[in-house]
Structures are given as structure tokens and as C-alpha cells.
Amino acid sequence: MKWSNVNSNDSEVVKQSLVVSKSCGASQQTSDITVQVGPAGTIKATKDSSTAIQNLASYMTNAASCGTTILLSKAGDSVAALYAGADVYQSDVGPYLLNFKKQFKAGSQIIQSCDSSSKRDNTIGVYIVNSLDDLEGIDRALQTWSKGSCLDSDGHDLIQSKTTMLGVSEVSKRSDISSSLEGFLAPRAEDNFDKYNTGTDLCKNLKVKQRVCCSAGSLPDIIPKKQSDGTCGTYTIQTNDNCAEIAAHFGVTQDDIYDLNEDTWGWAGCGTNDLKADQVICLSEGNTPMPSPLSNAVCGPQMPDEFCTESPARTKAPGAFQSGKNGCISNCGTYIVNNDDAPENFYHVAYFEVFNLKRECLNMDVNEISDTSLTHVHFAFAGLTADFDVSFDNDEYKAQFEKFVKNDASYKRILSFGGWAESTSASTFQRYRDAVKSGNREKFAKNIKAFFEKYDGLDGIDFDWEYPGATDIPGVPAGSDSDDDNYLGFLKLMKSTIGDKSLSIALPASYWYLKTFPIAKMSDYVSYFIYMTYDLHGQWDYNNAYADVGCPSGDCLRSHVNKTETINSLAMITKAGVPASKIFVGVSSYGRSFGMVDPTCTGPMCKYGGAFDVSTAEAGSCTNTSGYISNAELNLIMQGVDSGASNYKGRTWYDEDSASDVMIYGTKGEITTWVAYMSDDTKEARIDWIKGLNFGGVTDWAIDLQELNLGVDPDSDEAQDLDLPALPTGCSSANWPDNLEDLRNKIDKIDLGCRAQAVVWVLIKILPDILDNYQSAADNYDEYFKYYAEWVRNGIDDSLPLFMWSDGQNYMDCKWSSTSDGSGDAACTEMHVPEGQPGQGEVSITYTVRDEDGFYKALQADYGIEKDWIVWKDIYADPENSLTCPPCPNLTKDCKPCTGHGVTYHNWPVKAADDDIDVPNLKDIIDTAVPNITTLQDVILGSFIEMRIGAMDASDEDVATALSMPVFMIADTTEQMKNITKIGKEQEKADDEAKVSFILDIVSIVLMIIPFAGEAVDAIGGVANVARAAYVVGEAGNAALSVYDIVKNPSSAPFAILGLVMGADASVVGKASKTTFTKAAAFRNALTEDTLSSFSKEFRANDAIVQDIVKACKRA
């Protein structure tokens, strides 16, 4: 059809002309596919992005069924790109896209069904951006898909789905091999192929290199067999091999390959880039094979002629080996050994870094250790004096240690010596080498014994000498060959000296450094080993050909807590003769980070920049060290990302291959940094796994890196050695109350200059309980909302007559007749007819809506009732016996005759059926607020820390004013939630007044937390939709509507204050500016008495206490 022949003014003709063929002559088949869904929250889920996806789906539903489709859809600022390959049934793509509306709404940027190993063009990919500035990403995605490749799927969820694919009639570059045979081989062989090969759907499932019959008979047994020495049947990977083709060629399945290689050296799976050229794998049962040797390997199983090569002497006598060979057959394989029996107890050690007090933030006082799961805490570190006695860096550290040994703790208190800094410092490294020598070790042991006698609360000592015998530590002369024997002799003497006290040492998880330790002998004298299975990778790998498998340059992004490498390390130490019960395996509370060369490349072959001793990773605001960042800082960064903080970018995912968490982030507008770490869930899973292997315990570095704490009071006696600027004076928190009521009563005992800090201290103390109560009260809200919805619906029947007898008549015309007073028609406000009067006779009134738009707007504005919530019916009312006069519910003896003086109302509004009335479930808003309340806790704690150390660039009074308002709003909400819980539990007994109170309380609390809920409010139709129930059941001026008046304006004080203190200016501790709190306080101070009266009595009382305190401070 030529478009010139279409009448473009006729919409129907145009519509019909745009309908395309649903078929292009190709066969169709429904296929199961695996869809890779990108992480939620990668982009902002907006109405524009949803519209763009909907437009793609609508277009594709009517698309031609064959051919490749590349399509862009723009809505507002959002652009969605679609690639649908030539082997995809195109008109099925529309419904397919709509299956993922939930994921798109959650902010997933990428959804792809893609298999780069397939010979067919069956990719379906969608890529979304929020701005035209990001079109480069779309271009890159479309180019990748069109070349038959897939986007990096690290961190993606896998979802099983179905779609329709097309058959192929000719062999093409991406053709399915079965189609090739059906169209080519079968005709030439005159159907003999099918005759000789009778398997079901054989053609459809053929793989490259798969063997088939070309004559009568059966295929030979081609499955590899176990070798004579017990080694499995092996295959050496060739370039471009994949598991599917290998399985087909050798008559096994891909599942077989996975099962047979669970313990094979270097086995990483069948994924893209997992198989490496020259890698040796198993294709039958049997012992795991030796890996291919590497000419440049200096240790381990890939060192030529090393590790476990059997080389008996010609005599075959036990223990006799060929000259120049070794006979370490007991070390064959990569299994963990010496772990048959479970230990008597499983222990949980954590290190406490006393030097955390020198950080600008993220400080922790030793008395703040409260984890009840800990069995041991190692105080790190003490040092050695020149005459081999115990020393601390300063008096503050010593004071912390003295508190440590005196506190009433459930865990064992261990003092650790050394550490990396002390072991490698030019001024101290020699002390450790000398202290263990035969001429000095006895003096050192006596000094340690005297130290135990002085501090009888100390349960043990731990030595972290890094590392005896090492030859390659920068700036440190090579160690001596005698270091190992000296260390062993020292441990033997130390154990006999300290008796029942605990003795442990730290061990590296690196073969290069561990090989100097005589660990099998040492295990006879130590209580346990601290095995440092973290820091497996770091910036020091740069340019090290031996550091990263498959990465000769050493600069690939690898996890420092990689589980596979941890297994290899555990195999190494247990094969060296150490029982698993004496090994405490390392877990971490920090990440090792790298500056990414390409921020879009996040996989294990992607590169990082810098040099051996120079990291380009973005440093944390507290640890302030490129390449090393605490979990607490990582959590704060993601809170900034999740709250939409300006310049904060990032996302996280769990990496299955390394069994660790990965985050990419940047706080200056662009993602620059990749970091691997252990989240709480990952750490818990790792601990359970270690316990299941019968190891003695775990050791966590370090407890002060996990979350924000208060740290040492900078005005206490023990903190005088702190090297911090402008410490405030006279603000000791020792006697500060922990609630507002007591603070008000004791305020005269606190110096004026310290009172605002005391207010923030109270906020810190009360907020955790408030949040706990909030979450506890919210647990049963799904059940309570059933009653809420029911009672709101029931309130409609009560509200409709009120509206009809008042403003409703302003929009209606009436036609009436009466047996006693004639008839007429006019505006309902002009109607004169007797109603509800004795002797009035029968009256009939018919209502007609004259101004429909005005009627429904007024009904919604005054009573919160939607148009869809009502229907129009005829009803009858009798002034004397309306409940029993016909029409009765049932025609029984109780149905009395009408008096003849009733009124029939024609076309009168009544409540619609319950199923037609959609009352919004407000539970989502309650749940969505929790993360932001948690973030507020961090902001308050971080701000308090800055106030205490004198780093806050704003007045204490403004900080207290700004932070108190959101806390009091949450507290107010929590109290009302308790009331709702009580009514909800007694719902069957609730009277009408209680039901109204229940509804108004729910509306009030949801309105009060709307500033914390963000976009969740939009999902249920906005603030006005939340308030609607209050109009349905309440009266003008009720408390819920007063709160609505406060929050219906997005620029009101609650929104403005939260936006400032939790947004761009103050989302990370240490980064708040003076204007942040000054502006936030100004919003609170601008509230009038009339506006404040809309808040609850409790809120006003708490707010008044704070205002009295801060105003007095400002006057001073």
C-alpha cells in the first residue's frame, strides 16, 4: 500500500494502514529463556521511564514478526532502547516487556535475555536512561547486542521466562545448528539422517562437535575413562571452547562437567570467560588431575616438577625418592584436611583498633564493645620497648587498655603485639627480630609475666609479627633464615611462662610469607592461630604477575575475601599439619578498593589504576586511606545514594563467584571506585560455612569498622592526648540525662555553652527505642488495614446524606410531587416540599446532577469520596417506621405497612459495592519510612561527633533545632501507632467513636511520616489520597486534617528540614556545611503558633523544651 493513497484525515483508515502482518512465513515455537535483570535502584524509576517502556511494548505488539528491531522510545527526559534479534518473534516482545513492569518500576536499568555462545540472534535487551546526557550508555548497549555479545551481568538477578522464537530456513551466521541440518543435511541424505539418528528432537538440540551416525549401527562409547593411576579422564581446554560443545563431543552433559570438577584446580565454571586455555578438567570419575604447569610459577601445584609429583627411588622402598625430587604425596589435591572432628567450642574473635581514636570520625571507645556473640576481643596494638618491655603509643591508648582489662565483659580479653606498622617501621622492626633470639627471649617472657601480674584481668596475649624471614617488604632489610626457629623457641618459652593464659599468633594466608613459619611445630604451643584470610588482594598486586590468576599484569579487580582463594589457603595450612580446630579463619569488616580504569567494567578481568604503592580509589571520609575503607563508610555512601544525595552514585551486588559483596561508587558526581567486602549477611554465611568445616573459630578485623559509635568523650581525663583541633571545654557528658524530661529538670547543672549538645545527646539516646517501637507496632498493620478499609467504606453511607443536605444540592436540579402540596421542578436549593412532617402524604423527588464536575469535586474536597465510590438508586424513607416499612430486608411479620407519609428519592447517591471501592493500603508508606529513619540516626550521630570534636561548622543551637523536629515527629507517630494497635486488637468490640478514632489515627501517622517516605507516597496517589479517609469519617478541623495542612505542601518545614539534614549537604558524617543546619533551623523557627497548634500536644511539649534551651543558649 502506498501512503499517498491513504486519507490521513480519516483516523480509522490510518489506524488500519498501520496494522502489519502477524506472520512472515516462519515457524514459531515457545522457548524457555533466562532473563538477566539489573540491580534495582540503578536509575530513578519515574513516570517518564515507565511511559517509555509502555510505548515500546505497545509498538512491538503490532510489529512485524521477523527481522531485527532496534527501537528508541523517549518520554520526557527518559529514553528506553530496545534490541530484539532476528530470531525473536517480534510481536511477542510487547507482552514480554510488560512481564517486567515491577522490575522497571524498581529502577532496573538493564533487562536482557542474552547468550553470547548461541548461534542464533535471539537476544532481547532493554536499556533505560533518565537523561539525554546518558545516551552513550544506550549506544554501547545496542552495539554490544547487535554484535552477538551480552552486557556485563555482574550483580544481576536471573528470572525464568518464556517467549516465542522463529524457525530459520537457511544457514546464517547465527543460525541454530539444528535448523542448518533440517534445511541442508536431511534432503541430501534423503532422510537417512533421521533413519540412523532416531533421538527425540535431535536436530533441534545438536551442538557443534556432537557425534552422529551416518550409517546403520550405534555410536561407540566415547565417554572418557579413569586413568590407570586413578586420575580422572582429562581434557585440556582449547581457545574458544565452551562446555556445551565439550559435553556434546564426549557424550556427557554440562551438569556432569560441573559435578566432576568441583575440586579441580582453578575450576571457575562454564560461564563466559570462565574456561581458560590449557586448563585441565575432568570428564570422568577419578582423582583430580595436576594443573598445567606455568613456567614462571615459583610455588604451588603449577610450579614445574613440584607440589605432589610421585618420584620413588628405583628400590621402591618407603620414604626413598629420586635424587632432586620430593615425595609430598600427602599434599596432593586441594582438599582441606585435618578437620574430621568438630572442636569442643567454636570461638568468635574480633580485633579492636585502639588507634581508631586518631581518626577524624568513626571513633569507638573500648567500653562501647557490646556484641554478645564475641568470645575473645584482641586489643590492637601494644608495642615493644628497646629493652623488650610492653609499651603503648600514648597515655590515651594505655587508658583505653586499662578500661579494657577492668570492664565486666563476657569475652576473653587479649592484648595483641605488633601489627603491620610496628613490624615494618624503621624504628621498631628490629625489636621483634631481636626479642625472640635466645639471648633476649627470657627477658621478654619475664616482662610479659610481670605485665600479667599487674593486669590480672588480662586473659592472654597475641603476637602479630609481620613477617619473620620475609625478604621483600619495602624499606625493611631481608629477614634471617633463623627467624623461624627463633620464633618457635620463643613461643615454647612463652607458653611455659604464662601457663593457662591464652597464647596466639597471627599467620598470613599467603604461601610466600607463610612458608617460613614452622606452623606444625608451633601448633603444639599456641592456643590458636589467627589466620588472616583477608587482604588476599590489594593495591600491592599491581604489576605482580603472580598475584592474580589469569591476570599477568596483576591489576585486575579481585576480591580480598574471595572464597575460592580462602579454600586454597585453608587447604595449604591444614596440609602443613595444623589441626583445623586450632585455626581461627579471618573475616572482615572493611573492603579493599581500587580506582577503576573503566567505570562500566566491573568483572574480574577489568583493570584498576595507580601503582604498587599508589591507589586511585576514593578514600573514605573517616579512614581517609585510598584502597581501604570500612563497612560503616560503605553503608553511609549507599545511604547517600539511596536518599538521592547530590553527586552520590553507586550500587551494590553479591558476587557469586567470589562469595563476597561488591560496590561501585563515587561521591563527586561519577562512579570511580570498585570495592569488595563482606556485608553482615555475607559474613554470617561465611562464618556458618567455616563452622561447618570444623575450624576452631573466626577472627574479624575489626569491630570498630562496623558502624558509627560515639567514641571517647573528648573532655574526659583519658582523652587529653588526642591530637585534635579546637576541643570544646567544659562539656563533659558524664552526667547528662538521656531523656528530655530529666534534661529540662537538670538543665541548670549544665553549662549554657553545652546545653545544645546535651539536647542532641538525648536525641541519640531516645531514637533507637522510638525506631524499635515503630517497627514493632508496624508488624501487624496488614491485619489492621483490613479493618481500616472496612470502616472507611462504612463511613461513606454516613457522609453522603450530610453532603446531599448541604452543598450537594448546589449542583443539582429537582423535580418533585406531593399529595398534599402539589408538584414542581427547580434547582434543588429552591425546592419547597414537605419532608419528614406528619400528614405530609406521599412525596416523590427526582434528582438530576446539573453540574457534574462541580458536584464530584465538592464531594471529594469536603468528604474525600471518589466518583467511583457511589452509585445512584431510588430509596424510600418513612418518617415513622422507616426500618420496617417496605421495602423490607425480608418479608416477615415484622414488616409493617407504610404510613402513606413517606418520601421516595429517585436517583439518590449511595455507597457502591465494597469491591468497587479501592481504599489505599498505607502500609507501604509506613515500611518505606524505616530506612530513612535509620539514616537519620546516622546523621544525628555523625553530627554529634562533629560537635564534640569541634569540627561542626554550624552553631550547636541550630543543629539541635534542626534535628529535633524530625525526631519528635517520629516519636509522635509511634505513640499513635500504639493506640491503633490497641483498637486493632479489640476491633470486634470497637464502637463507632473508636472506629473513627482508629481511622483518623492511621491517617495522622501516615501523614506525619510522609516526609520520610519519599516516592512511596506517589504510588498511592499522593498526599491528598492519604488524607481522604479523614474527610470520609471525620469533621472539618479534626487532628488528621490539621496534619494534612502541614504536609500537603512539599516545601513545608518537615520536608525542608529532612531534605537538608539528610540530603546533599549532610548525607555523610564529616561533610555537613554550616548553611545546612542554619537553613534547617530557620524553617523550624519560622513556624507560627497557629501552625504549631496542628501538631500533637506531645510534639509541642517536646519542642517547647528544646526551644527554651536553645534560646537561652543564644541569649547567653
Instruction: Report whether pLDDT(629) > 90.
Output: yes
DSSP string of 305-370?
Answer: T-SS---B-TT--TT-B-TT----GGG-SS---S-SS--S--EEEEEEEGGGGGSSS----GGG--
- Over residues 599-603, the mean pLDDT reads 93
C-alpha cell at 45: 524509576
Q: Which of 60-69, 792-801, 803-812, 911-920 has the lowest mean pLDDT?
A: 60-69
Alpha helices per DSSP H over 523-598:
563-575
C-alpha cell at 104: 522497571
**Whole-number average pLDDT of the chain:** 78
Burial of 912 (0-12, 13-18, 19+ CB in 10 A): middle
- What is residue 315's predicted lDDT score, i.e. its pLDDT? 52
Which of the two residues, 910 and 930, has the higher pLDDT score? Answer: 910
Residue 1023: phi, psi to the nearest 5? -60, -40
At 925, is the pLDDT very low, low, confident or very high (cuts 50, 70, 90)? low
Q: Which amino acid is at 576?
A: A
Q: Which amino acids are annotated catalytic?
A: 466
At 403, is the pLDDT very low, low, confident or very high (cuts 50, 70, 90)? very high
- What is residue 1078's predicted lDDT score, i.e. its pLDDT? 75
- What is residue 552's predicted lDDT score, i.e. its pLDDT? 87
Of 42, 30, 41, the residue nearest 600 (C-alpha): 42
At 397, is the pLDDT very low, low, confident or very high (cuts 50, 70, 90)? very high
At 176, is the pLDDT very low, low, confident or very high (cuts 50, 70, 90)? very low
- What is residue 66's predicted lDDT score, i.e. its pLDDT? 64
CA distance 842 to 876: 10
CA distance 541 to 441: 35
Instruction: Report whether pLDDT(1041) > 50.
Output: no
- What is residue 596's predicted lDDT score, i.e. its pLDDT? 96
CA distance 796 to 910: 8
Domains along the chain? 18-166 (no CATH), 347-588+679-705 (3.20.20.80), 775-779+924-1115 (no CATH), 796-916 (no CATH)
- Over residues 502-519, the mean pLDDT reads 93
- Over residues 162-190, the mean pLDDT reads 45
Instruction: Report whether pLDDT(768) > 70.
Output: yes
- Over residues 1028-1051, the mean pLDDT reads 44
Instruction: Report whether pLDDT(1025) > 60.
Output: no
Q: Which of 109-113, 719-723, 1099-1103 has the lowest mean pLDDT?
A: 719-723
Which of the two residues, 727 and 669, has the higher pLDDT score? Answer: 669
Which of the two residues, 728 and 760, has the higher pLDDT score? Answer: 760
C-alpha cell at 221: 562409547
Of 509, 615, 480, the residue nearest 555 (C-alpha): 615
Helix (H, G, I), strand (E, B) or coil at 962: helix
Burial of 913 (0-12, 13-18, 19+ CB in 10 A): exposed
- What is residue 177's predicted lDDT score, i.e. its pLDDT? 38
Instruction: Report whether pLDDT(619) > 90.
Output: yes
CB atoms within 10 A of CB 959: 30
633-680: pLDDT as tens digits? 998 888 778 766 668 899 999 999 999 999 999 988 899 999 999 999
Instruction: Report whether pLDDT(887) > 50.
Output: yes
Q: In what order do the strands lie in the sheet with 590-595?
A: 628-630, 590-595, 673-677, 660-666, 649-655
CB atoms within 10 A of CB 849: 16
Query: What's the length of the chain?
Result: 1116
- Over residues 558-586, the mean pLDDT reads 95
CA distance 614 to 543: 12
Instruction: Report whether pLDDT(172) > 70.
Output: no
- What is residue 212's predicted lDDT score, i.e. its pLDDT? 77
Look-up: residue for cell 457522609?
Answer: 799
- What is residue 1115's predicted lDDT score, i.e. its pLDDT? 56
- What is residue 1067's predicted lDDT score, i.e. its pLDDT? 33
- What is residue 1027's predicted lDDT score, i.e. its pLDDT? 43
Which of the two residues, 681 and 165, has the higher pLDDT score? Answer: 681
62-102: pLDDT as tens digits? 766 567 888 888 888 888 999 988 888 888 888 888 888 88
Long-range contacts of 326-330 (CB under 8 A, 24+ apart): 330/575
CA distance 449 to 973: 58
Q: Peptide bond preceding 381: is omega within 30 degrees of 0, i.e. cis?
A: yes
Instruction: Report whether pLDDT(243) > 70.
Output: yes
3-state secondary structure 665-701: EECCCCCCEEEEECCHHHHHHHHHHHHHCCCCEEEEE
- Over residues 394-405, the mean pLDDT reads 95
- Choose from 125-134, 543-552, 671-680, 1090-1099 the range with maximum mean pLDDT: 671-680
- What is residue 1's predicted lDDT score, i.e. its pLDDT? 37
C-alpha cell at 313: 627411588
Instruction: Report whether pLDDT(603) > 70.
Output: yes
> What share of the chain in percent tops pLDDT 70?
72
At 1102, is the pLDDT very low, low, confident or very high (cuts 50, 70, 90)? confident
Which of the two residues, 142 and 820, has the higher pLDDT score? Answer: 142
Instruction: Report whether pLDDT(1021) > 60.
Output: no
- Over residues 233-243, the mean pLDDT reads 87
- What is residue 547's predicted lDDT score, i.e. its pLDDT? 84
Instruction: Report whether pLDDT(113) > 70.
Output: yes
CA distance 1108 to 745: 12
Angle between helices 755-778 and 923-949 (to 10 degrees): 160
- What is residue 1003's predicted lDDT score, i.e. its pLDDT? 57
Q: Is position 608 annotated in a ligand binding site?
A: no
> What share of the chain in percent tops pLDDT 90?
33
- Over residues 573-578, the mean pLDDT reads 93
C-alpha cell at 190: 534423503
Alpha helices per DSSP H over 910-991:
923-949, 956-985
Instruction: Report whether pLDDT(190) > 50.
Output: no
Instruction: Report whether pLDDT(685) > 90.
Output: yes
Q: Is position 701 annotated in a ligand binding site?
A: yes
- What is residue 836's predicted lDDT score, i.e. its pLDDT? 58
CB atoms within 10 A of CB 681: 10
Please give the helix or strand (H or E) that residue 656 lies within, else none.
none
CA distance 289 to 270: 18
- Choose from 255-259, 450-454, 958-962 the range with maximum mean pLDDT: 450-454
Q: Would you say 910 and 808 are in contact if contact means Cβ atoms under 8 Å apart?
A: no
At 772, is the pLDDT very low, low, confident or very high (cuts 50, 70, 90)? confident
Residue 124: phi, psi to the nearest 5? -125, 120
- Over residues 604-626, the mean pLDDT reads 94
C-alpha cell at 1098: 506531645
Q: Would you say 736 and 758 are in contact if contact means Cβ atoms under 8 Å apart?
A: yes
